[in-house]
């Protein structure tokens, strides 16, 4: 009994053209052992007739049919481009084999035919056919994925930029394209109301009612053998998606379609929300899915996007309050936030590095303002929890949402260990901040901790120019410096590279010999502060963005006039 080939290895159709009965029996027996079908003929006419039924492998004895079989390699190769043709010749007629190769044959087999040679050509043909199937499958998957990304792109663009009607229609059309359903309807559900309102519908779902209680809608679609998918977000159920006449699909694919519709509907809702309303808080899976799609759009159109992570040490009972405070600080039109692993994540589309830093400062100012309003910190461990916020910008800091979140979280945790928190610098004046840093330069062993700096002034000014030049290579840069009498100082060093913001703080007591420079780039920050003693500078330098923000704020408060 012949063995059956595995499902991944379909049976081959083998054609042997020969007048040698021994060769015919050999090929037939070996092919059947592998589960393949083999047909043996002796004339060219019979070979062409048999090949019409299908052909994967042909072995042609060139001496068959009085030598007329030499024409078969060309006929078979041209009629069946996916078939493999081998020719069989004896040693005296090897030249004919060379002619057959030029006519389309794959290789030459020398008579008498051996079992090893037959097994080899059968195996090679089977492997070639499997590779062809795999390539075809991969091309199909690639085409489907390209189509899926085009649908995602269109849905995101409509959800963010079109009118509400066009946006929900784009969602319905996208869901129909992804699911293959004959009809799709999108309903909105409102908290505290017993009615669902149809936002858009197409195909066979166009006759569904415009308004309907959720229970009645479920019974109605059950009669039609359709599917109702609830669209749920952090604040509860926001809508229903009806798929009518949808082909069978795995549950993960159906869930992915529902998740995408939820995320797009949330984007549409945020476009329609009033400017003073807080941003919606998405569950983690919705947040990451929407963020990845928006990154795809940014990559395609060479745009920027950023991620902001706020890390904190508050108790779990207060995390909802913290999330609400953050959502009130970000813009409702361009930010999504979610609580993930205890941190608050904010995605900022169309936002570069400096724009993300502006958002970061706004969030921190709001959170610190809320804390001050509740009272001063005490010795209790919970009240001593330090806030930290970090950003990462696409594409320079990462190509996917996972890398961006990881880098932003790392920067946020570094900021939570800033000298601003460790030395309580946010409650003292500018000269006191500088003196405290000089007295205790190394707060901890982190890379962003302040380090002592004792240099001659010319060397220091060269260092400042180099820092400004390095920051400028990474994109936009903002430099803030103090004003010093004469031609020297940080301001003069920074002017060699860019136009700094120069602030005169000499009018405040204790700031006469103070020198401060803060270099803020898109992907990092560097600061240097201290006092000039004779021809030397004694102070600290650090890559601490929070400390740089504090120094800039103190300079603005202490200035007696702007220059530069």
- Taking only the tens place, the pLDDT of each residue in 149-183 is 777 776 666 655 555 667 777 788 888 887 888 88
Q: How confident is the model at residue 142 (pLDDT cuts 50, 70, 90)?
A: confident
Please report the DSSP string for 191-218 in residue order: TT-S-EEEEEEEEGGGGS-SEE-HHHHH
Instruction: Give the contacts of 265 (CB within 8 A, at least 6 positions apart).
Output: 159, 168, 171, 186, 188, 231, 238, 239
For residue 532, pLDDT over 60 is answered with yes
Question: What topology does CATH give the domain 425-563?
Answer: Endonuclease; Chain A (3.30.870)
For residue 444, pLDDT over 70 is answered with no
Task: Report which of residues 249 and 381 the model is more confident about.
Answer: 249
Which helix (H) or strand (E) is 489 found in, with range?
none
Q: Tell me: the pLDDT tens digits for 313-344?
A: 666 656 677 777 777 777 655 556 666 667 88
- Give 185's DSSP letter: E
Q: Tell me: the pLDDT tens digits for 410-426?
A: 888 888 888 888 888 88
Please state which architecture CATH assigns to domain 284-416: 2-Layer Sandwich (3.30)
Spatial distance between the Cα atoms of 59 and 260, rounded to a whole number of angstroms? 54
Measured on CA atoms in the order 301, 304, 309, 310, is the torsion positive or negative? Answer: negative
CB 101 within 8 A of CB 121: no
348 closest CA partner among 389, 385, 316, 314: 389
Question: What topology does CATH give the domain 13-132?
Answer: Rossmann fold (3.40.50)
Mean pLDDT over 250-256 rounds to 76
- pLDDT score for 540: 92
For residue 538, pLDDT over 90 is answered with yes
Q: Tell me: the pLDDT tens digits for 146-157?
A: 877 777 776 666
Percent above pLDDT 90 for the chain: 7
Average pLDDT along the chain: 78
- pLDDT score for 529: 93
For residue 559, pLDDT over 80 is answered with no
Query: Which stretch of 35-44, 227-236, 356-365 has the lowest confidence by average pLDDT?
Result: 227-236
For residue 528, pLDDT over 90 is answered with yes
Highest mean pLDDT among 268-272, 327-331, 370-374, 535-539: 535-539
For the chain, the structural domain boundaries read 13-132, 162-272, 284-416, 425-563
Q: How confident is the model at residue 383 (pLDDT cuts 50, 70, 90)?
A: very low
Task: Report which of residues 384 and 29 the model is more confident about.
Answer: 29
- pLDDT score for 340: 60
Sort 528 into a burial class: Cβ within 10 Å, 0-12 / 13-18 / 19+.
buried
Q: How confident is the model at residue 381 (pLDDT cuts 50, 70, 90)?
A: very low
Spatial distance between the Cα atoms of 281 and 339, rounded to a whole number of angstroms? 8
Q: Tell me: the pLDDT tens digits for 10-67?
A: 788 888 888 888 888 888 888 888 888 888 888 888 888 888 888 888 888 888 888 8
- pLDDT score for 562: 42
How long a stretch of residues is the chain? 564
Mean pLDDT over 74-89 rounds to 85
Mean pLDDT over 307-311 rounds to 89
Highest mean pLDDT among 60-64, 206-210, 526-530, 559-563: 526-530
- pLDDT score for 227: 85
Please state which architecture CATH assigns to domain 162-272: 2-Layer Sandwich (3.30)
Query: Residue for token digits 């031609």?
Result: 487
For residue 561, pLDDT over 50 is answered with no
For residue 7, pLDDT over 60 is answered with no
Which helix (H) or strand (E) is 442 found in, with range?
none
Q: How confident is the model at residue 518 (pLDDT cuts 50, 70, 90)?
A: very high
For residue 95, pLDDT over 70 is answered with yes
For residue 252, pLDDT over 80 is answered with no
For residue 304, pLDDT over 80 is answered with yes
- pLDDT score for 376: 43
Spatial distance between the Cα atoms of 555 and 559, rounded to a whole number of angstroms? 6
CA angle 448/365/558 to nearest 5° reads 80
- pLDDT score for 443: 62
Query: Residue for token digits 């007696």?
Result: 560
- pLDDT score for 377: 43
Measured on CA atoms in the order 189, 179, 169, 303, is the torsion positive or negative? Answer: positive
Here the tokens at position 98 are: 């060379």
CB 441 within 8 A of CB 450: yes
Mean pLDDT over 267-285 rounds to 51
Sort 503 into a burial class: Cβ within 10 Å, 0-12 / 13-18 / 19+.
buried
- pLDDT score for 61: 87
Percent above pLDDT 70 for the chain: 81
- pLDDT score for 530: 93
- pLDDT score for 1: 42
Mean pLDDT over 269-285 rounds to 50
């Amino acid at each position: 009994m012949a063995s059956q080939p595995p499902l991944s290895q379909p049976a081959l159709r083998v054609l042997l053209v020969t007048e040698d009965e021994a060769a015919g029996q050999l090929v037939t027996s070996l092919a059947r052992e592998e589960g393949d079908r083999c047909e043996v003929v002796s004339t060219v006419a019979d070979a062409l007739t048999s090949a019409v039924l299908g052909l994967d492998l042909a072995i042609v004895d060139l001496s068959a049919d009085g030598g007329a079989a030499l024409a078969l390699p060309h006929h078979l190769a041209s009629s069946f481009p996916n078939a493999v043709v081998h020719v069989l010749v004896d040693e005296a007629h090897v030249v004919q084999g060379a002619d057959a190769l030029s006519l389309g044959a794959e290789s030459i087999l020398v008579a008498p035919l051996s079992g090893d040679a037959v097994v080899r050509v059968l195996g090679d043909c089977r492997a070639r056919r499997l590779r062809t199937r795999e390539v075809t499958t991969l091309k199909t998957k690639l085409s489907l994925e390209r189509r899926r990304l085009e649908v995602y792109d269109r849905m995101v663009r409509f959800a963010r930029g079109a009118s509400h009607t066009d946006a929900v229609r784009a969602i319905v059309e996208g869901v129909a394209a992804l699911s293959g359903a004959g009809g799709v309807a999108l309903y909105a559900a409102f908290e505290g109301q017993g009615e669902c309102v149809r936002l858009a519908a197409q195909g066979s779902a166009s006759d569904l009612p415009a308004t309907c209680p959720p229970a009645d809608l479920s019974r109605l679609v059950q009669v039609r053998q359709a599917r109702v998918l609830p669209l749920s977000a952090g604040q509860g159920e926001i809508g229903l998606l009806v798929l009518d006449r949808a082909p069978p699909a795995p549950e993960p694919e159906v869930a992915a379609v529902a998740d995408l519709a939820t995320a797009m509907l949330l984007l549409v809702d945020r476009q329609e929300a009033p400017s003073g309303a807080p941003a919606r808080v998405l569950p983690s899976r919705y947040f990451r899915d929407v963020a990845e799609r928006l990154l795809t759009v940014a990559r395609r159109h060479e745009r920027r996007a950023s991620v902001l992570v706020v890390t904190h040490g508050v108790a779990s009972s207060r995390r909802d309050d913290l999330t609400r405070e953050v959502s009130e600080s970000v813009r409702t039109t361009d930010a999504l936030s979610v609580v993930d692993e205890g941190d608050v994540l904010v995605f900022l589309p169309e936002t570069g590095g400096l724009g993300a830093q502006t958002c970061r400062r706004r969030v921190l100012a709001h959170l610190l303002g809320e804390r001050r309003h509740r009272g001063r910190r005490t010795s209790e461990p919970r009240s001593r929890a330090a806030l930290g916020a970090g950003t990462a910008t696409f594409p320079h800091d990462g190509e996917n949402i996972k890398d961006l979140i990881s880098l932003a979280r790392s920067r946020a945790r570094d900021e939570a260990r800033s000298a601003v928190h460790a030395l309580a610098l946010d409650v003292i004046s500018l000269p006191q901040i500088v003196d405290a840093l000089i007295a205790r330069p190394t707060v901890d062993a982190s890379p962003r901790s302040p380090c002592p700096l004792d240099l001659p002034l010319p060397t220091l000014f060269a260092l400042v120019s180099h820092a400004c030049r390095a920051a400028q290579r990474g994109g936009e840069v903002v430099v803030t410096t103090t004003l010093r009498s004469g031609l020297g100082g940080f301001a003069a060093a920074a002017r060699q590279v860019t136009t700094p913001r120069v602030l005169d703080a000499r009018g405040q007591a204790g700031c006469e010999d103070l020198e401060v420079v803060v270099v803020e780039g898109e992907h990092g920050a560097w600061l240097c502060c201290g006092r000039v003693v004779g021809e030397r500078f004694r102070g600290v330098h650090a890559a601490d963005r929070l400390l740089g923000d504090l120094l800039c704020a103190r300079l603005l408060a202490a200035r007696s006039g702007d220059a530069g």
